[in-house]
Amino acid sequence: MHVVMGGLRAGNTKPMDQPMKNDIQGHWRHVHDRTGQKFNTTFFDREGFVYDTGPACRAVVAARRAQPGRELEFLKTLHEAFYKHDIDLTSGPELMQIATDFGFTKEQFTKSFSGEACSNELADDFNLTLQNGIRAFPALLGGSTNDRFMALTHGYKSFEELHPSLDRLLSANELPNGLMPGISDDSCAI
């Protein structure tokens, strides 16, 4: 399993206006209706907030580089911070606090987060997402070691909805490197 950051709103520079807030609220309602996920809606009271997912995506890649195999757990921690506690994941100091609370040393996380290798790996993630036509998150892909994968879902699906696609993939003897549902509005898993 490999968590790939999708960059849904990475690099956004436009402050949220009311239409954007309405759009995001609609997506959050949909997620809540499908999954029961709760959201802290005080997020929408921020004036002039620029909703840029780039720093959070970079933080997940930094976590993957610093402690391979823990990135999904770290992504879950970031989700809880943002969606449940309304913590600003565009803020470097907030991301650092979350990372140190998670168990990274300040030096370990800073080195991983600020390095050129992290930038390159994040760009590779975004490119892989684009190459595979991913436009909705979470996404689940299955496949081998090449750069093209079979999309099992674009957007959330329950296991019952995914089961037939998984059966088709496995019965075709096209065993993937790993399968794990992405749990982010900004990631996919392959």
**Domain coordinates of the chain in residue numbers?**
3-189
Pick one of 2.60.40.2310, 1.10.760.10, 3.20.20.70, 3.40.30.10 as the CATH number of 3-189: 3.40.30.10
Dump pLDDT digits (tens) for 134-187. Answer: 888 888 887 665 556 777 877 778 888 888 888 877 776 544 444 443 334 455
Q: Tokens 């998670």 belong to which residue?
A: 102
Q: pTM for this structure?
A: 0.83
- Supply the DSSP symbol for 50: B
Task: Give yes or no for residue 48 having a pLDDT over 70.
Answer: yes
Dump pLDDT digits (tens) for 89-115. Answer: 999 999 999 999 999 999 999 999 999
CA distance 36 to 34: 6
Q: Provide CB contacts within 8 A for 183, sequence distance 6+.
A: 72, 75, 76, 79, 138
